[in-house]
Amino acid sequence: MKKTPTIALLGNPNSGKSSLFNQLTGLRQKVGNFPSVTVERKSGTFALDHSQTATVIDFPGLYSLYPKALDERVVIDVLSNPQHEDYPDAVIIVADASNLKRNLLLFTQVADLGLPVVLALNMLDVAEDKNLKINAVKLAMKLGVPVVRINARVGEGMDNLKKAIQETLTVNTGFQKYYFDPAEQFPELIGEVKQQYSLRNNYLALHYVQQHDIFSFVSPEKRAALDGLIQKHDFREHGFQAAETMHRYALIDGLVKDSVTTSNFIPKPLWTRRLDDILLHSFWGYAVFLMVMLVIFQSVFSLASYPMDWIDGGIAWLNDGLKSLLPESTLTSLLTDGLVAGIGGVVVFIPQIAFLFLLVAMLEESGYMSRVMVIMDRLMRKVGLNGKSVVPLISGVACAVPAIMSARSIGNRKERLLTILVTPLMSCSARLPIFTILIALVVPATPILGFFTLQGLTLLGLYLLGTVSALLSAWALRGFVPNTEKGYFVMEMPTYKAPRWNHVGIAVWESVRSFVVEAGKIIVAISIILWVLASYGPADSMERAEAQVRQAQPTLSGVDLDNAVAAQKLENSYAGHFGKFIEPAIAPLGYDWKIGIALLTSFAAREVFVGTVSTIYSLGAEVDEDNATLKDRLRAEINPRTGQPTYNLATSFSLLIFYVFAMMCMSTIATVYRETHGWKWPAVQFVYMTGLAYLLAFLTYQVLK
Amino acid sequence: MKTIANLKIGESAYIKAFLQPDLSLKLLEMGCLPGEEVTLDFVAPLGDPIGIQVNGYCLAMRREEAATVEVI
């Protein structure tokens, strides 16, 4: 046995595969990509016993080895290639016991590839609700592999599962017999393929024939050679695949006959039926959906504000403490105004992001998301999207990058591309910091109807604006997107389940961790660069700042003088010159050069805006204990030309509108490039979104000022 | 010709044939096999998509997709 064996986790969607993965690995998870494809690869380690650890890889859920969605392709690509670094030593097939026949289809296919398999029977409680009794011992005898009863949600059966894996790894009984042997019908074809590619397995040879076009490890010449073989032997790919599936199902019928018994089969458990009556109802279905969305946004805004205030206060306290403890120097300024201010800008939004991810994860876990797809499909199709676009759109509220990647589940190319193009209009969590601060500045917290506040409703309004714009843009763009492939909506409706806190917790932890690490890196780097640009200027302009102030306002002294000098220095710095340069272009939107600096830096990533303004204003303004938090600093900021607060209603709303629409995220652009294989669509997206942003922010400012 | 799209809620029928080859591969894998009994489970609020009971579970599909499955 290898030092650390690799175990692949395979199963149908909704079979509890991810729950099992979480049970096995806990927080020892790594999220990355499969080599050379952008499919999320979750792996982790777990102890098989005291001395032996194993690596487990969670593959995308799928119904058969013939992929129907893009993400599923990676499974057959890895399983057909023993040289692949993720090629498993053993496979755990997770099966939904309440739906055994359909789950066994994948099992028989994987077993036919000659891989050592353990069958994990999950969701036996749902099977019981359907009045199904499953005899695991009889099933194991019929299938000739270990069958383990588990409850992945609570972690039952893990020890037995590990024991079964260990046995499978050590006592390899060797390949027994094919459930489906393609060589029975096409002996010459299969024989020739096996010989030419030095394969030992008939079923693997069949996949070379059927799926070589998606094999990353087969060269174009070899693909052409396989096409030649198909012609020579008059092999009908389509008909043969259909025959294979029917053959397997017929066989499975016989296999499960003795091991699955039922007295009074109920196809839909009582609770699922009752909930569906409400959640798919023509009135209550939409009413509940709207309520769910409303509660999500309200709780994100109001509940998260408490921990956010603590963090905000804590950062200000830390900054003041450091400034009074450390001697006044360039290094201290870099540490406090640059680094701590930048990190604070990231950390403070963890509560909101965690809340959002928590609620989205709960909707997915509970099975409610599938119902939302069904009730939204007809409406989404009116604008050129798909019911399944709901998941990317809702996830887009957290982050557009995973959201755009989740659009792969949409089979139809046109609907998928449209979804990708409009998803970044959904207000992501990176915009939330900007929204939160600007709303808190200009909108009073007046309570409305008890539960809601004017601030919460404004935030909801911005999210609705983003959503409506996404739908309208899809409608407007649908004529420009070619439709080349046919896709399906066909989708399993899972039974409802109460979300498990530990699984939701892991999902939230992973999302928050990656936000802090990935976004944090950019934000801290830009904060430091910005501090440099704002602290130094061309030639001796910084030194001249003090003289300029003394000359212009000779009566100033003490703190007032220091502040005026600091402001003059910022204006004379590189950053100041930069902001002044673009000021004419943004003045019609109501922005000054300081906001200009923030706008430019946030083209890398929106969340940088908050870090930038906190760096700019902590350098350029007075800092005493009364206005130490960012919100207070912004409120105190005065436009020297008008004598009014810079962040008045018109400018703040113009900024809000700009950030709703503008395409300002490098990671999203890179993701769209990868997903659409070219620069055309990211370019289209950037131009239409940023154009809309400028135009609508301009209108907003001109109307409100 | 009768298809799944013609069923009324609660009405059952048996799958006879598939009219669209590509879609049939997906439906077969999902357990919609010739001779299998299907029951119309729900119709979404705006009349589309629909949900059927097949092979012991609930499967949603668009009406145009359901119209490619002939039943008796």
Q: Is the CB of B29 less than 8 angstroms away from the CB of A64? A: yes
**B17 touching A (Cβ < 8 Å):** no
Cα B32 to Cα B38: distance, rounded to the nearest angstrom: 8
Q: In 3D, which of A622, A188, A189, A605 has the Cα closest to residue A430?
A: A605
**Percentage of the residues of chain A whose pLDDT score is greater than 90:** 36
DSSP for residue A32: E
* pLDDT band at residue A625 using 50, 70 and 90 as cut-offs: very low
**B62 touching A (Cβ < 8 Å):** yes
| DSSP bridge partners of A7 | A56, A90
Region of A281 on the Ramachandran plot (φ > 0 left; ψ -120 to 50 alpha; else beta): beta
pLDDT in tens, A203-241: 999 999 999 988 888 888 889 999 999 999 999 989 999
pLDDT for A683 equals 94
| Residue A476 CB neighbour total at 10 angstroms | 14
**B44 touching A (Cβ < 8 Å):** yes
Q: In 3D, which of B60, B39, B32 has the Cα closest to residue A494?
A: B60
Cα A574 to Cα A542: distance, rounded to the nearest angstrom: 10
Nearest to B48 among A242, A378, A490 (CB): A378
- CA A585 to chain centroid, in Å, comes to 35
Nearest to B58 among A101, A379, A493 (CB): A493
Tell which of A139, A170, A201 closes a domain. Answer: A170
Cα A240 to Cα A678: distance, rounded to the nearest angstrom: 35
Q: Is the CB of B58 less than 8 angstroms away from the CB of A268? A: yes
Q: State the maximum Cα–Cα separation within chain A, in Å, rounded to a whole number.
A: 101
CA-based nearest distance A100→chain B, Å: 9
* pLDDT band at residue A12 using 50, 70 and 90 as cut-offs: very high
The enclosing H or E element of A79 equals: helix A73-79
**B66 touching A (Cβ < 8 Å):** no
Q: Is the pLDDT of residue A290 over 80?
A: yes
**B24 touching A (Cβ < 8 Å):** yes
CA-based nearest distance B22→chain A, Å: 8
b (16+ CB within 10 A) / e for A392-424: bbbbbbbbbbebbbbbbbbbbebbbbbbbbbbb
> Could you tell me if A107 and A194 lie in one domain?
no
**B19 touching A (Cβ < 8 Å):** no
Q: Is the CB of A489 less than 8 angstroms away from the CB of B61? A: yes
Q: Is the pLDDT of residue A38 over 70?
A: no
Structural domain spans, chain B? 4-71
pLDDT in tens, A48-65: 888 889 999 999 999 999
Residues of A with CB under 8 A from a CB of B: 63-64, 66, 68, 98-99, 101-102, 105, 130, 238, 241-242, 245-246, 249, 265, 267-268, 276, 280-283, 285-286, 370, 373-375, 377-379, 387, 486, 488-493
> Could you tell me if A129 and A152 lie in one domain?
yes
Using an 8 Å CB-CB cutoff, list chain A residues near B4: none
Nearest to B29 among A63, A283, A374 (CB): A63
The enclosing H or E element of A237 equals: helix A237-257
Q: Is the pLDDT of residue A586 over 50?
A: yes
Q: Is residue A692 a part of any domain in this protein?
A: no
Q: Is the CB of A66 less than 8 angstroms away from the CB of B53? A: no
Nearest to A486 among B22, B34, B46 (CB): B22
Q: Is residue A111 a part of any domain in this protein?
A: yes
Q: Which residue has the tokens 């998870």?
A: A29
Of A8-12, A71-75, A243-247, B50-54, the range with the lowest mean pLDDT is: A71-75
Q: Is the CB of B65 less than 8 angstroms away from the CB of A489? A: yes
> Could you tell me if A60 and A115 lie in one domain?
yes
H-state helical runs in A134-186: 136-143, 158-170
Q: Which residue has the tokens 């806990």?
A: A26
CATH number at A95 reads: 3.40.50.300
Cα B25 to Cα A572: distance, rounded to the nearest angstrom: 68
Token code pair at residue A663: 């395409």
* pLDDT band at residue A442 using 50, 70 and 90 as cut-offs: confident
The enclosing H or E element of A96 equals: strand A90-96
Tell which of A246, A262, A278 closes a domain. Answer: A262
Token code pair at residue A674: 């990868």
Q: In 3D, which of A438, A492, A461 has the Cα closest to residue A610?
A: A438
Residues 6 or more apart in contact with residue B72 via CB below 8 angstroms: B2, B13, B14, B16
Domain housing A164: 6-170
pLDDT for A485 equals 66
pLDDT in tens, A345-373: 677 777 877 877 788 788 888 889 899 99
Phi, psi of A369 (to 5 degrees): -55, -40
* pLDDT band at residue A509 using 50, 70 and 90 as cut-offs: confident
**B53 touching A (Cβ < 8 Å):** yes
For A159, A398, A401, A518, A676, the CA distances from A667, given in Å and listed in that order, are 41, 14, 7, 10, 14
pLDDT in tens, A124-153: 998 988 889 999 999 999 898 999 999 998
Whether A605 and A667 have beta carbons less than 8 Å apart is answered as: yes
CA-based nearest distance B68→chain A, Å: 12
DSSP for residue B8: P
Q: Which of B58, B61, B65, B68 to mutate to probe the A interface, most A CBs <10 Å?
A: B58
Using an 8 Å CB-CB cutoff, list chain A residues near B56: 98-99, 101-102, 130, 265, 267
Q: In 3D, which of A649, A648, A611 has the Cα closest to residue A630?
A: A611
Q: Which of B29, B46, B63 to mutate to probe the A interface, most A CBs <10 Å?
A: B29
For A64, A482, A573, A589, A600, the CA distances from A586, given in Å and listed in that order, are 54, 36, 20, 5, 11
pLDDT for A626 equals 43
Cα A316 to Cα A625: distance, rounded to the nearest angstrom: 9
Nearest to B44 among A265, A267, A377 (CB): A377
Q: Is the CB of B31 less than 8 angstroms away from the CB of A249? A: yes
CA-based nearest distance A143→chain B, Å: 20
> Could you tell me if A41 and A81 lie in one domain?
yes
| Residue B69 CB neighbour total at 10 angstroms | 26
Q: In 3D, which of A470, A608, A453, A606 has the Cα closest to residue A528?
A: A608
Residues 6 or more apart in contact with residue A147 via CB below 8 angstroms: A118, A119, A121, A136, A137, A139, A140
Q: In 3D, which of A425, A432, A418, A419 has the Cα closest to residue A468?
A: A425
Whether A453 and A447 have beta carbons less than 8 Å apart is answered as: yes
pLDDT for B29 equals 94
- Please compute the mean of the pLDDT values over residues A150-167 and round it to a whole number: 92
> Could you tell me if A87 and A224 lie in one domain?
no
> Could you tell me if A50 and A107 lie in one domain?
yes
Q: Is the pLDDT of residue A543 over 80?
A: no
* pLDDT band at residue A452 using 50, 70 and 90 as cut-offs: confident
Whether B51 and A370 have beta carbons less than 8 Å apart is answered as: no
Q: Is residue A446 a part of any domain in this protein?
A: no
**Percentage of the residues of chain A whose pLDDT score is greater than 70:** 93
Using an 8 Å CB-CB cutoff, list chain A residues near B53: 267-268
As a dihedral over the C-alpha atoms of residue A656, residue A662, residue A667, residue A672, rounded to 10 degrees, the angle is: 140
| Residue A107 CB neighbour total at 10 angstroms | 25
In chain B, the residue whose alpha carbon lies closest to the alpha carbon of A65 is B29
Phi, psi of A252 (to 5 degrees): -60, -40
Tell which of A142, A170, A198 closes a domain. Answer: A170
* pLDDT band at residue A565 using 50, 70 and 90 as cut-offs: confident
b (16+ CB within 10 A) / e for A274-294: ebbeebbeeeebbebbeeebe
pLDDT in tens, A644-659: 777 888 889 999 999 9
**B67 touching A (Cβ < 8 Å):** no
Whether B28 and A245 have beta carbons less than 8 Å apart is answered as: yes
Q: Is residue A678 a part of any domain in this protein?
A: no
Of residues A379 and A347, the one with the higher pLDDT is A379
pLDDT in tens, A100-111: 999 999 999 999
Using an 8 Å CB-CB cutoff, list chain A residues near B42: 276, 280
Number of domains in chain A: 2
Whether A218 and A210 have beta carbons less than 8 Å apart is answered as: no
pLDDT for A372 equals 92
> Could you tell me if A118 and A160 lie in one domain?
yes
Q: Which of B22, B23, B40, B57 to mutate to probe the A interface, most A CBs <10 Å?
A: B57
Q: Under CATH, which number does the domain B4-71 receive? A: 2.30.30.90
CA-based nearest distance A373→chain B, Å: 10
- Please compute the mean of the pLDDT values over residues B52-71 and round it to a whole number: 94
Q: Which residue has the tokens 């000021």?
A: A583
Q: Is the pLDDT of residue A500 over 90?
A: no
In chain B, the residue whose alpha carbon lies closest to the alpha carbon of A375 is B44
CA-based nearest distance B29→chain A, Å: 6
For the residues of A329-375, what is the DSSP string, one character each?
SHHHHIIIIIIIHHHHHHHTTHHHHHHHHHHHHHHHHHTHHHHHHHH
Of residues A615 and A445, the one with the higher pLDDT is A445
Q: Is the CB of A66 less than 8 angstroms away from the CB of B29? A: yes
Using an 8 Å CB-CB cutoff, list chain B residues near A493: 51, 57-60
**Percentage of the residues of chain B whose pLDDT score is greater than 90:** 86
Q: In 3D, which of A156, A159, A177 has the Cα closest to residue A167?
A: A159
Cα A159 to Cα A154: distance, rounded to the nearest angstrom: 13
Using an 8 Å CB-CB cutoff, list chain B residues near A276: 42
Q: Is the CB of A374 less than 8 angstroms away from the CB of B30? A: no
Q: In 3D, which of A609, A622, A545 has the Cα closest to residue A320?
A: A622
Using an 8 Å CB-CB cutoff, list chain B residues near A241: 25
Q: Which of A488, A492, A495, A496 to mutate to probe the B interface, most B CBs <10 Å?
A: A488
- Please compute the mean of the pLDDT values over residues A461-466 and round it to a whole number: 90
Q: Is the pLDDT of residue A380 over 80?
A: yes
Average per-residue pLDDT for chain A: 85
Cα A644 to Cα A349: distance, rounded to the nearest angstrom: 29
Q: In 3D, which of A34, A112, A105, A101 has the Cα closest to residue A73?
A: A34
Q: Say if strands A447-448 and A452-453 run parallel, antiparallel, or are unpaired.
A: antiparallel
Q: Is residue A325 a part of any domain in this protein?
A: no
In chain A, the residue whose alpha carbon lies closest to the alpha carbon of B53 is A267
pLDDT for A571 equals 78
> Could you tell me if A11 and A158 lie in one domain?
yes
Q: Which of A210, A290, A489 to mutate to probe the B interface, most B CBs <10 Å?
A: A489
| DSSP bridge partners of A590 | none
> Could you tell me if A131 and A210 lie in one domain?
no
**B23 touching A (Cβ < 8 Å):** yes
